[in-house]
Amino acid sequence: MNYIFCRVLKKKTVNFDDPGTYHFYFGDETGSAGTILTFFPWGDGIPQGRRGTGMATEIGYSVPKGSLDFWVDRFEKHNVIYNKPAERFGERYLTFLDPDGLKLELIETNITDTRKPWETGEVKADVATRGFHNVTITLNTISGTAAILTEIFGYKLIAQDVNRYRYATDAVGNAAIVDLVELKDEKRGHVANGTVHHVAFRVKDDETLMHFRQKVAERGLNITPQIDRNYFHSLYFREPGGVLFEIATDNPGFLIDETLEELGKNLKLPAQYESRRDDIEAHLVPIN
- Give the CATH number for residue 81: 3.10.180.10
- Residues 241 and 243: their CA atoms lie apart, in Å, by 6
* Domain-located, residue 76: yes
Q: Exposed, middle or buried by CB within 10 Å (0-12, 13-18, 19+), for 118?
A: buried
Indicate the pairing of strand 18-27 with strand 8-15: antiparallel
Q: Mean pLDDT across the stretch 22-31?
A: 93
pLDDT value at 7 more than 80: no
Three-state secondary-structure class, residue 10: strand
Given this model, what pLDDT does residue 5 score?
56
* Domain-located, residue 211: no
| Other CB atoms within 10 Å distance of the CB of residue 138 | 25
Whole-model pTM: value is 0.94
Q: Mean pLDDT across the stretch 186-193?
A: 95
* Domain-located, residue 100: yes
* Domain-located, residue 116: yes
Three-state secondary-structure class, residue 240: coil
* Domain-located, residue 33: no
* Domain-located, residue 146: yes
Query: How far, CA to CA in Å, does 186 sit from each of 50, 55, 139, 269?
Result: 12, 12, 8, 41
Mean pLDDT score across all residues of the chain = 94
* Domain-located, residue 232: no
Q: How many domains does the chain have?
A: 1
- Give one word for 78, left, alpha or beta, with left for phi > 0 and alpha for psi -120 to 50: alpha
In this predicted model, what pLDDT tens digit does every residue of 233-281 receive, in sequence order?
A: 999 999 999 999 999 999 999 999 999 999 999 999 999 999 999 999 9
Q: Mean pLDDT across the stretch 123-132?
A: 96
pLDDT band per the 50, 70, 90 thresholds, residue 42? confident
Task: Assess contact for 177 and 91: CB atoms under 8 A.
Answer: no
What domain range is 52 assigned to?
A: 47-197
Task: Assess contact for 165 and 177: CB atoms under 8 A.
Answer: no
* Domain-located, residue 252: no
